[in-house]
Each structure stands twice: as C-alpha cells, then as structure tokens.
Structure 1
C-alpha cells in the first residue's frame, strides 16, 4: 500500500497563442493506469517547446496526469472513480473530490475538451460522442455538429454515442433496489453519477470527446493519442494543416449507439467466454450466467461493449450497442 503522502497539486501546462482562437483542454490519466495520453501530451509539448510545432492562435492547456494519486498507485482509481459524479464538491470527502474542486473550473474555462483514455480488453481505438442537439433535462446540448466533425478527423474507425442516457437506465434499476448505506452505494445511485469530464464540459456550455486510444499496454496507443491531439488542433484551426497528416478514412467510421447496461448481481456471475469490446452478439445468444444458473441473453443483435469480468456486485458488468443512424458528416 502506498506510504507516501497524497499528492497536493495538479500539474497544468498552458500555451497561449498570440492570436485569439479556441480554448482547448487536453487531459490524460483521469484513470491512473491509463497512461498513453500522458506520453502523447509530453510528446506534443516537446514539439511546441522545440519549435517544430507552432500554435497559431487560441489557448492550449494540458493536464497530463489528472488523477496523480491513482497514477502513483498504478491503478484506475485513487479513492473513487474520478470520471463519475464529477462536480465541484461543497465539502470534499475524498481525494477525487479535491481534484474535482480544481478540475471543474478548469473545464468551465475552456470551450473544447479532448480526454485521452485506454481500456482493459483488446480492441481498436474508438471515440465516445455526446448527445444529439436537444433541450431535454438529462443532457441538453447544442454542439453536436462540432463534436461529430472532430470525431471524424481523429483517425478512429468506430464512434459510440448514448453513454449518459444508457447509464441512466442502470441508475433507475439500482435506485429501485435501494442503497447499502455506504458512500459508494449512495454514489452509484446518485442521478449525477454518470457525469464525467465530457458530460461536465457540456453542462458548462462547452463540448468535447473521450478518445479510447487502445488497450492499456498497446504500444501503438500513445501514437494514436498524439495524432489525435494534433488532428484536433488542425481541425480547430490552432496549428497549420501541414503539421500533421489529416485522417482520410477509406470508409466512414462505424457509429454505434449504446442502449442497455447490465450490472453484475453477484461475485459468481460469469461470462460465457472472454468477451472483448465490440464483439458481435446475436439475438438470444448467451452472454453469461448468473450465480444461480439463470442465463443472461442478448435482447437483440448488436455488440457487447466494456465487458468487465472484474466488476463488483451492483456495478456495470457490460453494455450493449447497436448500429446508429447518426452521420458524422
């Protein structure tokens, strides 16, 4: 167990162009063991410092290690998941609350966010897209076209939408079962719990994307992240187009919509096999088995997303997605 004192600061780097322009925030290591973005940010900062990359306009801010406690411990979380229930705390109760007290105003001070992540299972990089323009209560939004255009240029072949609305389904089911009395139990039933970096950014009038750059240890992931930063800067007009080869996919990216989340009920719930994100499932196919023998079947054909065989009871076990009718333009 870590015996050093907890980190007491966030390291923030900012480059201010001499001409007005967009305010872009790039973050990494929101989950401490997702380090590809850390390397990518360091590489881009080195390019800027060396003069091989010029910021023409706007403000570019980097936070290479958003959760320094989790990063020091080389695990996903410090004391809790920073990318859930993100909001300025009235009275901080844990390390992540203290980070949020600094991170939330920083997000609100910018217009665009690129949040760099990686994932546990095997698979290719993909982007998480926000909602379509709407005036609803869950996640009102008015910048869907900007997010779609950014997603289209990042160099990934798959884009996923529908996070917060699907997570809300899980919240409703957990609330119906009642809390266990712990703070963790209360948090996973909090209507705000699905809000992470991009969701908070949108709530403050901005917009942005989460980019899952690949598996945690994939040696290609840092380069995916670095190119995504450069392509974002070009897309926003902050650096010259010749600074990076823009991605021109041979075919449009596949767009999927999350529609269901299934929680693990018991520690002995088991998957039918070792699933990877975006593995295909057919209607009625057995995905897993509950501890008491009940089958867990696919309600429709589509893809399994974020399967987590380490999920604790009462937490998300896996998501399901199907083809979306959304176009990235």
Structure 2
C-alpha cells in the first residue's frame, strides 16, 4: 500500500470540548490498534451525549480521539505499517517521518502535550476480564522517573476493573536483555507508548484493556470508564448513587516469553489472568521441550497467533502496591 496515498487520504478525527471554568485537561484515545474497536464505540457514545446536551462538561478541557490510527482501522488489523503504541515520540526536528505511524505520532504528541491526564482504551485477543495498566511507582531512576503515581493509581482505582497491572516498561527492558539486545536509549524508546510519553511530559496516564476484542460488553466498559474519569476529576456532575470504588487485585508483570517458532504451542487455550502454579506446564516448544511456570502467578496476554520472535505471553505475580495511599513526596524531575 502506498503510504503517501494513505497519509493524504486518512483523517485524524478529534473532538474537543472546553468549559469556561478552568479545570483538568483530559484526553481519551481509542483505536490506537485498528482491530480494537471498543474504545472507539465508547468514545462515540460520550460524544453523542455531549453533543445532545445529556452530558455537561462543568470545568476543564476534554479531547476525544475515536480512531487514533486510521490506516490500521481501515485494514481492521492491529497495525498499519507498525505498532503505533511503540516508539511514541515525535520525529526529530529536520527529519522526515519514517512511516505512517510516525506521521500520526507527530500529530498526537502535541495534542497530548496540551493535556495532563490520558485514558487510552484498548482490548485484547484472548478471553479475559477488563483490567487497567499503570506505570511505575514514584522514583527518580533512569528508566522512567515519575512523581504522580498516586494520581495515576487513583484514576485506575476509579475505573472499576477487578484487576490493575503494573510493570510494563521494566518488563520491556527485561525482554530486550532476554533477546540479547542492548537496553540502550534507542531500544527502550521503542517500548514507549502513549502513557510513557504522557508521563515524560509531566502528566500521567492509564491504559484500560476493556476486554476481549469481540466482547459485546467492552464498548460500555469504555464508556463507563470515560465517565468515571470525568467524575473523578470533577469535570462532570458526580453520581450520587455511585458506591466507593472497590480495591482491585493488583498484579506486577515479572517476565515475558517470546514465541520462538511457528510450531511452539500452548498446552491449552489460556485466558488473560488464568492462574498457574509453579512448575505447571504452559506450552511446548517446537523441539518438544516443555515450558513450565517459573512460580505461582498469572498468565497475561497469551497470544496463540504470535509471530516467531514476538511476545507469546506475559507472566505476573501479586503486587504489594497500595493504590489508596500516597507514597512519600518526591521532588519533581521536570516542570510542565
């Protein structure tokens, strides 16, 4: 496909709403991956409610992007030319965008720069319940320095999912080392998605995995999450009937296993968050060797269709993190 043609014919549709009263600046993305349609449907429902007046923005600014990757959506596949949720950084000044997704990133990055909170809506290939993904705890380390973990955790808590998962960039760096690749700045940059970019700009963000791609309930999971975020931030009227959020189960990603050969097979059909016991068989390699669970834990994002050399599944364990309690204050490593 001619990327110049697609670049000239695709449009990035952006809905912007600004109250006359100052307040938080929230951006919601859907369709970062083209085969994940629930976020788009949830956003469209919120757009309709705002446009017909049944939902009122009381303060702050709200930006809604129903389809963040138009090419991938037209093709109804995860990627257009590459994964938009990797290497999510603007093109260097004076350089030409390397591909279609780089052109999209060059439009989305300045848009994210004008906001302080991101909700990125996704879905996944295997069966499983909706869950939220958050970034690191407050830290001043070299990988992903951060000082808004409590706010980010509160957003995840109020989305109402039964589980929250942490540890993405740490495990991405570990995956590089596992493949014998240097975890240098250039390699780690490819692990950057929308949330990592937002955190690097002084904001914070949560990825909501709304369920399996075809789950008919997933669009409403997305819609409710947008409304929950708006209520938490005081941007719309509170719901007097809403119960306090229940503490979710919190998991930490600890490893990623790649599919090495097209003949690598799971021993059964796994769903995200299926529990496994230490030593339990998970898959069989092409050479007949059995892959066992390294410890008690949970399967995350199993992908029986993964291409050789890409992520086959992630492994998670229970986390000791408490989303309800702020950590000791850290000095900010940046200003906005």
Give unpaired runs (5+ residues) of structure 2.
325-336
Number of the residue aligned with 1:78: 80
- 2:211 aligned with 1:201, yes or no? no
Alignment of 1:98-247 (within 5 A): 98-176=103-181, 190-242=187-239, 246=242
2:254 paired with 1:265: no
Provide TM-score, normalisation by structure 1.
Answer: 0.92
CA offsets per residue over residues 45-86 of structure 1, 9 Å max, x none? Answer: 111111111111100001110000000111111011101111
Q: After TM superposition, which residue ranges in structure 1, 4 or more long, deviate above 6 angstroms? A: 1-4
Cα offset, 1:104, TM superposition: 1.2
2:32 to 26, 30, 46: 30
Task: Deviation per CA, 1:21-43: give whole Å up to 9, x if none.
Answer: 11100000000111111111111
Cα deviation, residue 175, structure 1: 3.6
| 8 A Cα contact 2:89 2:106, kept in partner | yes
Superposition RMSD in Å: 2.0
- Say whether the 8 Å CA contact 1:32–1:71 is kept in structure 2: yes
Q: Compared with structure 1, are the counterparts of its residues 252 and 301 closer, same or farther at alpha carbon in structure 2 (3 Å cutoff)?
A: same
TM-score by length of 2: 0.90
Query: SS of the residue aligned with 1:156?
Result: coil
Answer whether contact 1:258 1:322 (CA < 8 A) is retained. yes
2:319 corresponding residue in structure 1: 324
Say if 1:80 and 1:154 are closer, same or farther in 2 by CA, change over 3 A: same
Q: Please state how far the C-alpha of 1:148 moved relative to its aligned partner.
A: 1.0
Give the number of aligned pairs. Answer: 318
Q: Which runs of 5+ in 1 are unaligned?
A: 179-186
| Partner-residue secondary structure (3-state), 2:179 | helix
Native 8 Å contact 2:3 2:100 kept in 1: no
